């Protein structure tokens, strides 16, 4: 993977593609290299541009997105497909992974979740919106984990963080300063600063606002 993640988009609504492009291209390490409105166009874009990540809707006018996933991977086998859809049922998630997708998000996901998913896929990881991933795992029979489509799957955005880092993230999102966090957790300010730097590096986030949005998305403030 290069330093910049090359992303292609497929959604039959131009306004959605415009919004996605804006979210992604506001980041210095992401470049949108192509767009498509149909499955046929998506396959053509994938074949020509070989993007690192292909963000794909399932509801396309000329074909179902599940068949589009297979066709995209046929012409661009190194691309990672991230499904971004209105369908938030586990059955759709399961079928998308069987078709070859590496990530799955509902269109209700926050901006931060989309960026996290794109970066995860580009780094060779799978990513599923937390609520859907938890629902999928809860349906697995005992002893079956690791054998199916959820193997090595990150089911939540905080899976990269230690328990200490998760707690610090929650306190940052609640508006506490580094000294206040140190007092609450009996840590030095320098230790808190180090943890916070690690959190931002792992999640690819820069500002307190982004950390707070991420924490809300992950359910840390519930």
Domain limits for position 121: 5-154
What confidence score (pLDDT) does residue 13 get?
93
**Distance between CA atoms of residues 176 and 133, nearest Å:** 30
**Distance between CA atoms of residues 106 and 84, nearest Å:** 6
Q: Do 114 and 212 fall within a single domain?
A: no
* Boundary (domain end) residue, out of 154, 180, 202: 154
Q: Do 145 and 201 fall within a single domain?
A: no
Q: Do 95 and 129 fall within a single domain?
A: yes
Q: Do 195 and 88 fall within a single domain?
A: no
Residues of the chain with pLDDT under 70: 1-2, 110, 131, 133-160, 222
Q: Do 84 and 110 fall within a single domain?
A: yes
Examine residue 197 and state whether it is found in any structural domain, yes or no.
yes
Global pTM reads: 0.65
**Distance between CA atoms of residues 10 and 60, nearest Å:** 9
Q: Do 188 and 115 fall within a single domain?
A: no
Beta carbons within 8 Å of 141's beta carbon, 6+ residues apart = none
What confidence score (pLDDT) does residue 133 get?
63
Q: Do 48 and 150 fall within a single domain?
A: yes
> What total of structural domains would you count in the chain?
2
Q: Do 70 and 168 fall within a single domain?
A: no
Strands 30-36 and 53-56: unpaired
Examine residue 222 and state whether it is found in any structural domain, yes or no.
no
What confidence score (pLDDT) does residue 41 get?
96
What confidence score (pLDDT) does residue 222 get?
67
Q: Do 10 and 108 fall within a single domain?
A: yes
How many helices and strands, by DSSP H and E, does the chain display? 10, 7
68 phi/psi in degrees, rounded to 5: -65, -35
**Residue in the block written with tokens 């924490």:** 215
What confidence score (pLDDT) does residue 143 get?
42
Element (H, E) at 85: strand 80-85
What confidence score (pLDDT) does residue 89 get?
77
CATH number, domain with residue 143: 3.40.50.2300
Q: Do 68 and 175 fall within a single domain?
A: no
Strands 103-106 and 126-128: parallel
What confidence score (pLDDT) does residue 108 get?
80
């Amino acid at each position: 993977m290069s330093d910049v993640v090359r992303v292609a988009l497929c959604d039959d609504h131009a306004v959605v593609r415009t919004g996605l492009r804006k979210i992604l291209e506001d980041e210095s390490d992401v470049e949108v290299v192509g767009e498509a409105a149909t499955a046929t166009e998506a396959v053509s874009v994938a074949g020509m541009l070989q993007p690192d990540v292909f963000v794909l809707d399932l509801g396309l006018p000329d074909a179902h997105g599940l068949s589009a996933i297979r066709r995209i991977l046929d012409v661009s086998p190194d691309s990672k497909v991230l499904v971004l859809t209105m369908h938030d049922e586990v059955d759709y998630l399961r079928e998308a992974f069987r078709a070859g997708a590496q990530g799955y998000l509902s269109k209700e996901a926050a901006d931060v979740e989309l960026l996290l998913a794109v970066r995860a896929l580009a780094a060779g990881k799978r990513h599923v919106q937390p609520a859907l991933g938890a629902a999928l795992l809860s349906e697995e029979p005992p002893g079956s984990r690791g054998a199916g489509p959820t193997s090595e799957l990150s089911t939540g955005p905080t899976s990269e963080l230690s328990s200490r880092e998760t707690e610090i993230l929650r306190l940052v999102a609640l508006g506490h300063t580094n000294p206040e966090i140190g007092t609450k957790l009996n840590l030095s300010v320098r230790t808190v600063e180090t943890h916070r730097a690690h959190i931002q590096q792992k999640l690819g986030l820069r500002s307190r606002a982004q950390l707070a949005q991420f924490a809300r998305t992950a359910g840390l403030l519930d």
